[in-house]
């Protein structure tokens, strides 16, 4: 039986800059989702890559005395480095300069021309020759038709351009938003798009003539395809949807449409309006959801080169060297800006979350339970022989938490899913606190009850670890190893979270998942 598919994508990142926390974040949350869905039994396709065309790349390359391709190669390699650094499990990495992409983009644009969704039009406006840019009528008037930069008069120019007939999709897009309220999430973002949509759609230029670094328009090499149009197509060229029938298309076509295009909020318009209009024009199915997250900010401001407040790979590596990769992944997943508010990262906050959730909760509970099994049962897992214990119906508690986490993941609420998992551990702490196995163990007649308490506690921790695994694959694998289990990659969530997975008699080692770490020195201390 074929498994249901699940396709998740990140934006493809511009190679005119270096990767930083923002890029890493989007790819990481997609990775957590992809890992969870694989466990849930879905046939997952997780895509990321780099956006390599456009005037900015051409310019940056020239400034660095490199060819645009060499510049793109060099920076794409940096984006690839992130994948290994953060243990990301993408299924493909698409680069827009690859022939598989460029030839399919031309095929799609040719189809759009044939369908009359793209036409050649004339554009007339005031042009600043020094800046190579058009001014709006208002801006031209404001500066008396003289360039404020060069002091030279603006010239009236006419340009022949290709346009995408976006205006024709006003009604279909309104219908889409009405019939699929979840097409854009979170809801506040959807409302932004709806607001702009109500202002009315205009056709958009989709080619450029003033530089060369791009995919040529089919049969008109003077024009290159506008970088955004080129880039959006990556989501389907990676699947081979534009290849001639029978080629690569066959194997990956099943993944379309995507469940989630995960993006940052600044590129919502392209994904929520232009992209679906292009797909509608091509008679292709639409993605299920464009999920636009907010930003990582520093000191209340968006990170930028000029402010020098960018959290780059070097700084991320610094965190990794102190706290380990899984702690980083956990912080990103639970504290990140998936909702409508921006998030901040500070050494103090990171330390606090690490200590509270990972050291004091997950790590402490696992080490306490495994230590008691070693102390009272010589490291051999006791049987669950007692009846009801302190009103804790563990099979039901864990089943509910798994259901909550699964629902949250399906809705891309990653923090909610992790909270359901850590919630199990908190319940175990409460259970131990209430049943006091360490006191009961003083009485040899109570050892059966002690054994049952510890079996149930460890089994619940094990189930929590299955839910935590997509976020913290490394530490959860080592927890599994100390319990003598190594789930096969194909084992599904249902099987792994079924109560009773641990076998009495198994050898249990004491665990130490998250070492306590000294608080960072506060600034100025
Ligand atoms: N190349 C386009 C996307 C084309 S997709 C068809 C692009 N690239 S980008 O390199 O600028 O990357 C933008 C993406 O990086 C954002 O959408 C977001 O996913 C991520 N982030 C960049 N800065 C960010 C923060 N400060 N915080 C969180 N994520 C942000 O736009």
Residue 294 alpha carbon, nearest atom of ligand 1: 28
Decide if 468 contacts 460 (C-beta within 8 A): no
Residue nearest to atom 9 of ligand 1 (CA): 13
- C-alpha of residue 80 to centroid of ligand 1, in Å: 15
List Cβ<8 Å contacts ≥24 apart for 276-279.
276/169, 276/173, 276/176, 276/183, 277/164, 277/166, 277/169, 277/172, 277/173, 277/201, 278/108, 278/112, 278/117, 278/164, 278/229, 278/232, 278/233
Q: Which helix (H) or strand (E) holds 400?
A: helix 394-410
Pocket test for ligand 1, best of 267, 269, 301, 303 (most atoms within 8 A of CB): 267
Residue 342 alpha carbon, nearest atom of ligand 1: 27
Tens digits of pLDDT across the chain (525 residues): 689 999 999 999 999 889 999 999 999 999 999 999 999 999 999 999 999 999 989 999 999 999 999 999 999 999 999 999 999 999 999 999 999 999 999 999 999 999 999 999 988 888 887 776 778 788 899 999 999 888 899 999 888 899 999 999 999 999 999 999 999 999 999 999 999 999 999 999 899 888 899 999 999 989 999 999 999 999 999 999 999 875 555 689 999 999 999 999 999 999 999 999 999 999 999 999 999 999 999 877 878 777 888 999 999 999 999 999 999 999 999 999 999 999 999 999 999 999 999 999 999 999 999 999 999 999 999 999 878 887 889 999 999 999 999 999 999 999 999 999 999 999 999 999 999 999 999 999 999 999 999 999 999 999 999 999 999 999 999 999 999 998 888 899 999 999 999 999 999 999 999 999 999 876 443
Predicted structure pTM score:
0.94
Which is nearest to 285 in space by CA: 275, 295, 299, 297?
Answer: 275
Which is nearest to 360 in space by CA: 239, 517, 494?
Answer: 517
Residue 26 alpha carbon, nearest atom of ligand 1: 19
- C-alpha of residue 305 to centroid of ligand 1, in Å: 14
26 lines ligand 1 (CB under 6 A): yes
- C-alpha of residue 23 to centroid of ligand 1, in Å: 6
CB neighbours of 334 closer than 8 A, spacing ≥ 6? 353, 357, 414, 415, 418, 419, 471
Secondary structure of 43-70 as H, E, C letters = EEEEEEEEECCCHHHHHHHHHCCCCHHH
295 lines ligand 1 (CB under 6 A): yes
350 vs 327: CA distance, rounded Å: 9
134 vs 391: CA distance, rounded Å: 72
Which is nearest to 234 in space by CA: 110, 445, 92?
Answer: 92
CB neighbours of 201 closer than 8 A, spacing ≥ 6? 166, 167, 169, 170, 173, 273, 277
52 lines ligand 1 (CB under 6 A): no
Residue 271 alpha carbon, nearest atom of ligand 1: 6
Decide if 502 contacts 459 (C-beta within 8 A): yes
- C-alpha of residue 13 to centroid of ligand 1, in Å: 6
Pocket test for ligand 1, best of 19, 20, 25 (most atoms within 8 A of CB): 25
- C-alpha of residue 231 to centroid of ligand 1, in Å: 13
DSSP-assigned states of every residue in 80-148:
HHHHHHTT---SEEEETTSHHHHHHHHHHHHHHHHTTSEEEEEEEEEEETTTTEEEPHHHHHHTTTB-T
């Amino acid at each position: 039986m074929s498994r249901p598919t699940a396709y998740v994508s990140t934006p493809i990142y511009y190679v005119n800059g270096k990767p930083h926390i923002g890029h890493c974040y989007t790819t990481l949350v997609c990775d957590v989702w992809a890992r969870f869905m694989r466990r849930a039994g879905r046939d997952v396709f997780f895509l990321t890559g780099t956006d390599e065309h456009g005037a900015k790349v051409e310019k940056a390359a020239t400034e660095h005395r490199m060819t645009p391709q060499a510049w793109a190669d060099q920076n794409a390699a940096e984006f690839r480095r992130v994948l290994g650094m953060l243990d990301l499990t993408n299924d493909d990495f698409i680069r827009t300069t690859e022939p598989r992409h460029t030839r399919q983009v031309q095929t799609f644009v040719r189809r759009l021309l044939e369908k009359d969704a793209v036409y050649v039009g004339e554009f007339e406006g005031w042009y600043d020759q020094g800046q190579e840019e058009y001014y709006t009528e208002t801006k031209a008037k404001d500066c008396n038709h003289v360039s404020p930069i060069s002091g030279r008069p603006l010239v009236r120019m006419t340009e022949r351009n290709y346009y995408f007939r976006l205006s024709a999709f006003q009604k279909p897009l309104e219908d889409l938003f009405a019939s699929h309220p979840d097409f854009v999430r979170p809801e506040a973002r959807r409302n932004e798009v709806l607001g702009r949509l109500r202002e009315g759609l205009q056709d958009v230029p989709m080619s450029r003539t003033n530089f060369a670094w791009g995919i040529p328009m089919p049969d008109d090499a003077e024009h290159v395809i506008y970088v955004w149009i080129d880039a959006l197509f990556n989501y389907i060229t990676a699947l081979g949807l534009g290849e001639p029938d029978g080629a690569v298309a066959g194997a990956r076509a099943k993944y379309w449409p995507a469940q989630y295009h995960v993006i940052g909020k600044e590129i919502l318009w392209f994904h929520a309006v232009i992209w679906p209009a292009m797909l509608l024009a091509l008679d292709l199915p639409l993605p299920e959801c464009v999920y636009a997250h907010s930003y990582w900010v520093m000191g209340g401001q968006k990170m930028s080169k000029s402010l020098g407040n960018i959290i780059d790979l070097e700084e991320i590596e610094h965190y990794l060297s102190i706290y380990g990769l899984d702690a980083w992944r956990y912080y990103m997943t639970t504290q990140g800006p998936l909702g409508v508010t921006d998030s901040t990262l500070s050494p103090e906050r990171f330390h606090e979350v690490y200590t509270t959730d990972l050291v004091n909760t997950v790590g402490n509970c696992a080490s306490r339970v495994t230590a008691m099994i070693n102390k009272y049962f010589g490291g051999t897992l006791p049987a669950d022989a007692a009846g009801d214990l302190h009103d804790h119906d563990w099979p039901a508690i864990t089943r509910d938490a798994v259901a909550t986490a699964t629902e949250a993941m399906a809705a891309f609420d990653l923090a909610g899913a992790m909270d359901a998992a850590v919630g199990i551990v908190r319940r175990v702490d409460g259970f131990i606190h209430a049943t006091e196995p360490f006191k009961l163990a003083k009485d040899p007649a109570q050892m059966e009850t002690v054994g049952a308490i510890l079996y149930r506690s460890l089994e619940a921790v094990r189930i929590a670890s299955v839910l935590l695994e997509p976020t913290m694959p490394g530490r959860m694998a080592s927890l599994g190893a100390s319990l003598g289990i190594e789930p096969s990659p194909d084992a599904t969530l249902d099987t792994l979270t079924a109560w009773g997975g641990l076998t009495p008699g198994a050898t249990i080692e004491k665990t130490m998942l998250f070492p306590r770490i000294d608080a960072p020195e506060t600034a100025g201390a």
